[in-house]
Amino acid sequence: MRKIEHIGVAVKSLAVSIPVFEKLLNTSCYKTESVEAEKVNTAFFKKGESKIELLESSDENGVIAKFIEKKGEGMHHIAFDVENIEAEMKRLQEEGFVLLNEKPKLGADNKLICFLHPKGTNGVLVELCQERK
Ligand code: ZN
């Protein structure tokens, strides 16, 4: 793990939340992207090295919709930048963490990603992400 790559925030509506975060961060959203397989629409903000990813469900049964139903809007996950996602997945698995997917999958922002089960990380949903080459 090299650094925090971004923090994911679950929102009900990107249309409502993008202007809020634009005002908060005093910067424009630089990218929106839909990830069909994950049933999410995303919007990204950047301040220095730090990124915020807003996540809106594109389907009423999507994981973000279910998250908001249970916990309301708010912090959803912390994503760490890794150099070699498969090596990091193997290392974490050997340390006893439970991976939510066996193989890296394609995420937003041209990344290969993998989530860890929050039960093993004190309730924090952790995402590993590696830039695709
Ligand atoms: Zn993320």
Beta-bridge partner residues of 56: 41
Q: Provide the residue count of the chain.
A: 133
**Ligand 1 centroid, distance to 95 Cα (angstroms):** 22
In degrees, rounded to 5, the angle at the alpha carbon of residue 98 between the alpha carbons of residues 113 and 51 is: 35
pLDDT reading at 116 higher than 90: yes
For 40-73, what is each residue's pLDDT tens digit? 999 999 999 999 999 999 999 999 999 999 999 9
pTM beyond 0.85, yes or no: yes
Please give the backbone phi and psi of residue 41, each rounded to the nearest 5 degrees, phi first. Answer: -110, 135
Distance from Cα 127 to the centre of ligand 1, integer Å: 6
pLDDT band at 3 (very low <50, low <70, confident <90, very high): very high
Amino acid at 105: K
Q: Give me ligand 1 centre to Cα 38, in Å.
A: 11
94 Cα–ligand 1 center, Å: 23
The predicted structure's pLDDT at residue 133: 81
pLDDT, tens digit (0-9, with 9 covering 90-100), for 89-114: 999 999 999 999 999 999 888 899 99
- 3-state secondary structure (DSSP) of residue 62: coil
